[in-house]
Structure 1
Amino acid sequence: MANTYTQLYIQVVFAVRGRENLISMKWKSDLYAYIGGILTKQGCKPLAINGMPDHIHIFFGYNPAVSVAKLVEEIKTSSNKFIKDNYSVSAFNWQKGYGAFSYSRSHIHRVVKYIGNQEIHHLTKTFKQEYIRILNDFGIDYKEEYLFDFEENVITSK
Structure 2
Amino acid sequence: MATNNTYTQLYIHFVFAVKFRASLISEKWDERLRLYMTAIVQNNGHKMIAINNMPDHVHLLIGLNPKQAIADLMRVLKSDSSEWVNKENLTAGKFQWQDGYGAFSHSKSEVDRVVKYILNQKKHHNEKTFLTEYRQLLKRFDIPYDEQYIFKLPE
| Interval of TM-score (by shorter of Structure 1 and Structure 2) | over 0.9
Q: Which of 14, 17, 35 is the matching residue for 1:15?
A: 17
Structure 2 counterpart of 1:53, one-letter code: P
2:101 corresponds to: 98
- Give a deviation string over 1:57-114, Cα, whole Å, max 9, x none: 1111000000000000000000001111123423210010111010000000000000
Give ranges in structure 1 of 5+ residues lacking alignment: none
- Structure 1 equivalent of residue 76 of structure 2: 74
5 Å-filtered alignment, 1:16-35, equals 16-35=18-37
Unaligned residue ranges in structure 2 (runs of 5+)? none
**CA apart distance, 1:2:** 5.2
Q: CA deviation at 1:43?
A: 1.0
- Alpha-carbon separation, structure 2, partners of 1:27 and 1:88: 8
CA–CA separation in structure 2 for the residues paired with 1:7 and 1:97: 24
Q: Given the alignment, which residue of 78, 85, 88 partners 1:86? A: 88
What is the CA-CA distance between 1:25 and the residue it aligns to? 0.5
Q: What is the aligned residue count?
A: 152
Q: 1:143: how far off?
A: 1.2
CA-based RMSD of the aligned residues comes to 1.4
CA distance in 2, matches of 1:121, 1:91: 28
Output the amino acid matched with 1:30.
Answer: R
Corresponding residue number in structure 2 for 1:110: 113
Report what 1:37 is aligned to: 39
Match of 1:136 in 2: 139
Asked if the contact 2:29/2:90 (under 8 Å) is kept, the reply is: no
- Partner Cα separation in structure 1 for residue 146 and residue 83 of structure 2: 31
Amino acid at match of 2:78: K
Deviations 1:29-62 (A, max 9, x none): 1100111111111111001111210000111100
The residue identity in structure 2 corresponding to 1:86 is E
Instruction: Give the aligned residue type for 2:16.
Output: F
Identity of aligned residues (%): 47
SS at match of 1:57: strand
Distance 2:116 2:89 in 1: 28
Separation in 2, partners of 1:131, 1:43: 27
